[in-house]
Structure 1
Amino acid sequence: MTPSADFSLKVVLVQTEYATNIGASARALANMGGHQLILIQPRTPINSKARQGAAGAQSALQRAVIYKDWEEFLEKEGQGFRIGMTRRAGRNRKVMALSEALEQDIPQYLEESKSNPAAIFLCFGTEADGLSLEDLSHLHLGCHLPIFGEFGSLNLAQAVLLALFMVRQKYPPTEKVQQTLSETPPAFQEVYCPDNLIRQWIEGIGFDIEARSSSAYLTLKKLFTVFRPTEHERIVVDEILKQTLRKLT
């Protein structure tokens, strides 16, 4: 019989350095039916690279919650079972395989929390150094993920996806996750790009827009057509270009 998954499954990223990993982690969360992405003291904003990494899982990224430190996280999130993905064991700090925890510690926690809303937090440290000793002091358990090859380091978003998959394999969602894929392609969304304004600005500061060696126009255009800035970012860039043109004339 498949165990019940009547709990909130959340991913916590601590001091993440690369926005792409934040976006890809949001995508993994959406893939596996997770409930919340939490960022503690991120070292990068949620920007266009994060949105690129999230791909079609923009709603999971937009719902991400940011806390300034562990104290605020613990105050706001309350009770829950916090598991850190690490291989940093210590004299008084046991680190076990996540597969082992899914058979022992996690079922025990869920059994003990039957009368209260249960939450499982999967916590991940920085890309370079992982979870620090201070980070681990706030967690209930340290776990490592399975590695079968000779290279023992996972990308952060890969680790998030693997950990979520292992939990969901043991505890599938109680409700079927609504998939976004369909046979009907999504409606085309026009990409906003102030082409004329960019051309005027480039020519106004002295660039030859027709010169093959000049990539200024194409580079600026790419900022809009590829990186898809937010509404606020578009307004700011528009105003910068318009203000510069006014000064030049």
Structure 2
Amino acid sequence: MLDRIRIVLIGTSHPGNIGATARAMHNMGLADLALVAPRCEPLTSESISRASGADHIVHAARLVATLEEAVADCTLAVGASARSRTLPWPMITPRTLGERLPQELSGPDSRVALVFGREDSGLSNTELQRCHAHVHIPTNPGFSSLNLAAAVQVLAYECRLASLEASSDEPAQDEEPQQPLASHEELEHYFAHLERTLVAIGFHDPALPRQLMARLRRFTLRARPERMELNILRGILSATEKCAATPGTDILEASAKERECRNGGTDSSASRSDSER
């Protein structure tokens, strides 16, 4: 389970914090580290020194330009946040996160990303909106500032506890097979498709966006759609786009043609409905 949990650091400015993060990860059995646009040289004598024997994680860390690249293959992304936001997002504690991990990682393609922001400003609102949920460490309200590596250590500890408990549990009997969840990359393609369609039908004006797409993003991420469910939604969007592009098109006729194209021939259910009418 632990090998499918990724620590993502965004815009880290001190190499020592990268090394200390690697040490915290190795203490708890984590090894997958991604660095998004670091503001320092990750591999330095300071980062190696602070890693204290976990420098192999620093050497193996993946450097990417954007958060989307870092979490593209993940089915759950959780952003660490200490601040309240204008648009509230699902908020969980580190303990709740740990309790969710066995279920979240039950599928063979499942992968979880724990996302941490900059030392001085944390994660931006845009970055947090790329996450399914936010995790808040309940620190002393009078002194809530945590060192980056210390925050990673708290969440990594909860991950290890969850892994140890899951390995000691009896395997569940007669459970429904877990359907694969949509990955972050698939969700981002869906959101782009959704916005494009809403613009095409005149429902969304990009010049006056307010918080429409952010609210739709929050709703969708909270629902945790499976890959098949997301494919259905994108099929609906494609049919809607075709209707919008062809004035006077009957929506039922367009949907039938869309199904026929997907099935590679005549849609039997549509034929039966026509004959029954």
Structure 2 match to 1:109: 104
- CA deviation after TM superposition for structure 1 residue 15, in Å: 0.5
> Match of 2:70, SS?
helix
Q: Any unmatched runs of 5+ in structure 2? A: 168-277
- Asked if 1:156 is matched to 2:148, the reply is yes
Shift of 1:49: 1.4
Partner Cα distance (1:51, 1:11) in 2: 18
Among 88, 113, 117, the residue aligned to 1:121 = 113
> Larger relative CO (CA 8 A, sep 6+): 1 or 2?
1
Task: Give me the whole-angstrom Cα distance separating, in 1, the residues matched to 2:50 and 2:142.
Answer: 27
* 1:10 aligned counterpart, secondary structure: strand
User: SS where residue 164 of structure 2 aligns?
Assistant: coil
- In 1, the alpha carbon distance for the partners of 2:112 and 2:31 equals 10
- Residue of structure 2 equivalent to 1:228: none
Give 1:22's aligned residue: 18
Report the Cα offset of residue 94 of structure 1: 2.5
Residues 206-217 of structure 1: matches in 2 within 5 Å? none
2:50 pairs with one of 49, 53, 56: 53
Percent identity between matched residues is 30
SS in 2 for 1:42: coil
Please tell me whether residue 142 in structure 1 is matched to residue 101 in structure 2.
no
Asked if the contact 2:79–2:128 (Cα under 8 Å) also holds between the matched residues in 1, the reply is yes
Whether contact under 8 Å (1:10, 1:37) holds in the other structure is yes
Mapped partners of 1:107, 1:37: distance in 2 = 20
- C-alpha change, 1:173 and 1:48, in structure 2 (3 Å) is farther
2:50 is the counterpart of 1:63: no
Checking the alignment, whether the CA contact within 8 Å between 1:7 and 1:117 is kept in structure 2 is no
Quick check: 1:24–1:50 contact (8 Å CA) kept in 2? Answer: yes
Please give the alpha-carbon distance, in whole angstroms, between the structure 2 residues aligned to 1:118 and 1:149.
35
Distance in 2 (CA, whole Å) between partners of 1:118 and 1:7 is: 11
**For each residue in 1:39-88, what CA deviation from the matched residue of structure 2 results, as whole angstroms up to 9, or x when unmatched?**
001000122211111121111111111101123324xx413311111133
- Listed one character per residue, the Cα deviations across residues 75-108 of structure 1 (whole Å, up to 9, x for unaligned) are xx413311111133333413222222333x5454
Residues 19 and 51 in structure 2, CA contact (< 8 A), matched pair in contact too: yes
Q: Report which of the two has the higher share of helix.
A: 2
| Cα distance in structure 1, aligned partners of 2:142 and 2:74 | 38
User: C-alpha distance in 1, partners of 2:2/2:33?
Assistant: 18
Contact 1:80 1:119 in 2 (8 A): yes
Length-normalised TM-score, structure 2: 0.54
Rounded to whole Å, the distance in 1 between the matches of 2:11 and 2:148 is 12
- Structure-1 separation of matches of 2:40 and 2:2: 33
Instruction: Tell me which residue corresponds to 1:42.
Output: 38
Amino acid at match of 2:152: V
TM-score by length of 1: 0.60
SS of match in other structure, 1:172: helix
What are the superposed Cα offsets for residues 179-214 of structure 1, whole Å, 9 maximum, x if unpaired? xxxxxxxxxxxxxxxxxxxxxxxxxxxxxxxxxxxx
- Aligned alpha-carbon RMSD (Å): 2.3
**1:149 positional shift:** 7.1
Change (3 A) 1:131 1:25: same
